[in-house]
Structure 1
């Protein structure tokens, strides 16, 4: 649950909703995602100071053009000129219907364009849904408005990946081996809009023969999809520790995009969980192919990554890690830390390794320049 007894998150969202979801024609507004992560992990006291720094990166919402309707939405899908129109449309939809109904209707429509906007729209949706799930039936106006902004951004930037072939999946069936089998695109000289069209095929994953398992039946398939999605988030987070140097900012999304999907599953009908896993894999693999380096680097420990920590070498706490990210200030470092804390929490619950996830978060802070330094 979010640590928001002061109302800090709602105040921050209200400040941010005067701005559009992008700046300079393409770069994403990360403000709503970063402040949600900070508040959730007990760093609410730093939010308004962080927004004071971040406001110079914000631009006003573009002017509305043509209202989105039940008759013309298909023509407007994927057209960034309609960002404001889409936000208004979802605002009306969420005022008239329960937010879960709106989400369930639009999730399968938007899912094929999960890579649009460099995966930022789906990540923003994941943060918005997480806040609404915190208080069933008592969603505040700013949190509902945030879902409208997030869905509107996704609809405006909806961009399906090119048709992709299926390569043999890893014999182990593991998500980590599947990511390792993703081949980098040939030309890595441009941005993500230049790289994604080069994609041709991904390894098949998940692989049903993993550990000799048979395909799940209809009753258990959604649970299997959720578990495998959690495995993907864990693998992508751990992989950042050894491969994040390939492009420290963009490779954050290989973990945060599937985690946004994982966060959204509890709000969706169970029949949407399996296709959500497939889309999350495509998004994570696409970012990995676009920016992954050819060779890994040695893996630092969490203690080694947190320079100057009294506990250097062992037992770095989640509280230290999020405090470090908040002090660092970069929005991507904050968001990867947020995902890493999810992974570490689940690992502790199952008695597995949680230090690697914490080390990945600290590694992001080391690789990405601090805007507050």
Structure 2
């Protein structure tokens, strides 16, 4: 992570923790994820200015209802009205236990609902874990951010419908290409995901942990590359086909190795589901870029769109020419923040 000697990230997270994870009904608050990416890639001086522009969109934390407890959590799982109850529950858990222990306990409970909230909760969790893994000091704002991320995921937890396994392609790129589109390519993501009936069984089986990590890395690369030629199908939503599995990949080092294979399976389900929900009829040509990784991210930061910033962050993890071209394509396709 870029050396954040100014403490900008912690300042930004503290500023954001008075706001809820959603706005306008169920649109996600992307600010915690975007500011983490901005700081990581050397754009800390732009963070508070970016927040000044983004902040008016945000809403206060929802009112609490009934505390979530170790005895009652199952009945609260997947209830968006309990977002603040869940956030307070995880804040208590993280005050009493090491964060890796809390994550290891709750990751397998939350993983089946990875697609809930259009995958934003798992993406926010991946950013939060990265701040803790990359920090010499586990600061209070970074632990609080993990509580907010996990609370959001628990409240929006929504398993995908059961799907029939289709024949798997030999690699992740081929598997994504063979995902059948849902029949109704209109409406919101929840109505689209409800139409899923079958997906390629690319992540089937139980590979050993290192094989699972290798295949997850391959999936992130393939989904990032695919955006370059298919992102025009839905420029905002299709970034999640790459950023959601990348959030899982970023989290693996903090998890027990026995959770790596099921993490791969869930990440594949999320990436494939988003691909099925927003598949364009045809691929489109895209241009190569001569920009460096640093220049690509600087362009995304100047563009200002939250999804574009987060996608560029994932593209820099892949860091090959097609991934950088895909990030530039996201800048071209998504409307800039004025």
Establish whether TM, by shorter chain, passes 0.5: yes
Match of 2:325 among 344, 353, 359: 359
Q: How many angstroms does 1:140 deviate by?
A: 0.3
Moved more, 106-115 or 188-197: 188-197
Determine the structure 2 residue equivalent to 1:310. Answer: none
CA distance in 2, matches of 1:229, 1:300: 26
CA distance in 2, matches of 1:150, 1:2: 22
CA contact (8 A) 1:2 1:131 kept: no
Please state whether the residue corresponding to 2:78 is helix, strand or coil: coil
**Aligned: 1:191 with 2:157:** no
Matches within 5 A, 1:78-97: 78-97=78-97
Match of 1:240 among 227, 231, 235: 227
CA distance in 2, matches of 1:54, 1:100: 31
CA contact (8 A) 1:3 1:44 kept: no
**Which structure would you say has the larger Rg?**
1
4+ residue runs over 4 A deviation: none
Determine the structure 2 residue equivalent to 1:370. Answer: 336
Match of 1:336 among 298, 304, 311: 311
Please state whether the residue corresponding to 1:166 is helix, strand or coil: strand
**Aligned: 1:151 with 2:117:** no
CA distance in 1, matches of 2:327, 2:193: 26
Matches within 5 A, 1:108-127: 108-127=108-127
CA contact (8 A) 1:183 1:289 kept: yes
Q: How many angstroms does 1:67 deviate by?
A: 0.2
Matches within 5 A, 1:1-373: 1-135=1-135, 138-170=137-169, 173-206=170-203, 221-302=208-289, 314=290, 316-344=291-319, 354-372=320-338
CA distance in 1, matches of 2:203, 2:193: 22
Q: How many angstroms does 1:4 deviate by?
A: 1.0
CA distance in 2, matches of 1:295, 1:27: 28
CA contact (8 A) 2:286 2:329 kept: no
Q: How many angstroms does 1:364 deviate by?
A: 0.2
| Superposed CA offset, 1:348-371 (max 9, x none) | xxxxxx111101001001000001
Tell me the C-alpha RMSD between the 2 structures. 1.0
CA distance in 2, matches of 1:272, 1:2: 29
CA distance in 2, matches of 1:3, 1:229: 28
CA distance in 2, matches of 1:183, 1:125: 29
Please state whether the residue corresponding to 2:146 is helix, strand or coil: helix
| Superposed CA offset, 1:183-209 (max 9, x none) | 11100121001100000010110478x
Q: How many angstroms does 1:299 deviate by?
A: 2.6
CA contact (8 A) 1:248 1:368 kept: yes
CA contact (8 A) 2:22 2:58 kept: yes
CA distance in 1, matches of 2:330, 2:266: 25
Q: How many angstroms does 1:2 deviate by?
A: 3.6
CA distance in 2, matches of 1:283, 1:207: 14
CA distance in 1, matches of 2:52, 2:105: 36
CA distance in 2, matches of 1:108, 1:35: 27
CA distance in 2, matches of 1:224, 1:125: 23
Q: How many angstroms does 1:319 deviate by?
A: 1.0
